[in-house]
Chains A and B, each alone.
Chain A
Amino acid sequence: MTTLVEARGLKKRFGDMTAVDDVSLSVARGEVVGFLGPNGAGKSTTMKMITGFLEPDTGTAEVGGHDVWRDPTSAKAKLGYLPEGAPAYGDMPVADFLSFVGKMRGLRKAELNNRLAEMADRVRLTEVWSRPIEALSKGYRRRVGIAQALIHDPDVLILDEPTDGLDPNQKHEMRNLIREIAPNKSIIVSTHILEEVEAVCSRAVIIAAGRVVADATPRDLVGSKDDGRAIQIRIGSPEEASVIEKIKPLADGAELEVMERMNGSTRVLLRYNDKPEDTRAIETRLKSADLPVEEVGIYRPRLEDVFRDVTTRIH
């Protein structure tokens, strides 16, 4: 497989703060990498370095085999980029804006017209085609940003939060679009929506505090935490402390952890060093202690749990 994006040891400091600390990333043709991390983790900064907008303090980035700093024009020609917040010239009508970007990207008249028509259709912009961008809704503006990144049918696509601000239908369409174009491109998408990663990404890269803390397929990421040695309990009571107190004596040899509280119930995890106890036995014991048990089962981690785990723990 051809590697279209190759970043090695990217580092960037802002003042005393290290925003990106030794990030390496390689993306092959056909891969869709989900770039995850808490706010301020350094996702956008990393993307800016790969696109050649921001110069790294150390490290290199190659796009389509061209070094972004030594041969910026060739590298940038291979690239479509949606910057964070989907900036665009508000006073321009959608058509003029896309045509401007297409011309800057070297498209000639006939080809440009073809691509414009394709964008109008595929990204569904026909309705707003001649409206000024500043008059569009947030979702449409984001779509204009995507169309702009796709106008020259680039090999490499870097999208910083492409689905931010889209309604559920638009999100769904966006994922379909990404899936459709994915086979012959390298795509990096940053997002805070984890189900999106499971839906479209062949790989998830999680960064925290500027460092890569996980890099695997979403399935493997979840699998790595799934050792079958934990039991998940849902209790119909929002009072975390008292729930813990009551469960503790009933779950011998387990380490207790509150996963989350929602809709009046608390999710508690019992981690065992070895094979866990039988779930039915636990359920019976909890029930006889008058706890409002809603569910007891072997814990199957979700991507969200893995995300929280790797981004909040210090390794």
Chain B
Amino acid sequence: MTASLSSVSVVFGREFRAYFATPLAAIFLVVFLALAGAMTFFVSGFFARGSADMAAFFTWMPWLFLVLLPAIGMRLWAEERRSGTIELLMTMPVAPWTIVLGKFLAGWAFTGVALALTTPLWITVNWLGSPDNGVIAAGYLGTFLMAGAFLAIAACISTLTKNQVIAFISAAIVTFLLVTAGLELVLGAIRGWAPYWMTEAVAALSVLEHFQRITQGLIEAPTLIFFGSLIVLALMINTFLVDLKKAQ
């Protein structure tokens, strides 16, 4: 057990630092902050709304994240396979799941850094009025959980290719489908031909539905279970796929 914990933390340390080894991390953070700011202030009209909350900010997160998290997750395994370092990694005396988890947590922590950099907005909202800080905290929690789910999916997909660009595009497509699954537009299109249970199943996969509830301040078990199980499932598939694809 302690050996597993230590290998998770060693992998975590290496991966987390790897994000900052190139200027890419800084570029990424700047792009994220710029996009989040632009959406909040210009598209949603943060000031014009005249209400002291961060709804204008959170609304955009699923759409931003479906591009940004595939970008964070794409190199996790594709690059190991391309450079052959996966051969070193998988001949270390540790359980493969600890490597999968360490890599995932590093990407998630990096997302955490990005989110932490948006807290000036939270402070601004408090300065302008008196928002319900509980709701905002729930919003951050939801955003972070959603990021985890997207990242786990992106990491999982990056095991399937040696090409980071392909990993990025595939992960973006899958997360896009996951976000839009709950939209009436999509459900309406399925309802015409699919059986009832299938429509329900697709609707249940909807990230938006859960995300919207949590950003309204509703921290409910189904939502936590939804994001939690998405993460766990994706990481389990990730572990399986690494083993399957490592030597190809």
Contacts and interface: CB of A to CB of B under 8 A. Distances in A.
B14 to A, nearest CB: 5
Contacts of B85: 87-89
Interface in A21-77: 48, 51-54, 72-74, 76-77
Contact of B92 (A83, A84, A105): A105
A291 interface: no
B94 A104 contact: yes
A232 interface: no
Interface string B1-26: 00100110011011001100110000
A91 interface: yes
B93 A74 contact: yes
Nearest to B4: A73
B221 interface: no
Given A79-B91, A92-B21, A106-B3, A87 B84 contact: yes
Interface residues of A, number: 29
A105 B93 contact: yes
A106 B5 CA distance: 11
Contacts of B11: 104
A290 B87 CA distance: 60
Interface string A90-109: 11100010001101111000
Nearest to B90: A53
B92 A76 contact: yes
A191 interface: no
A92 B88 CA distance: 15
B130 interface: no
User: Which 6 A-B residue pairings sit nearest by Cβ, starting from the closest?
Assistant: A87-B84, A77-B93, A76-B93, A91-B21, A83-B87, A103-B10
Interface of B: 3, 6-7, 10-11, 13-14, 17-18, 21-22, 83-85, 87-88, 90-95, 246-247
6 contacts: A51-B91, A77-B93, A79-B91, A83-B84, A101-B92, A106-B93
Given A96-B17, A101-B92, 10 more contacts: A48-B247, A53-B91, A53-B247, A76-B93, A81-B87, A89-B14, A92-B18, A103-B10, A104-B11, A106-B6
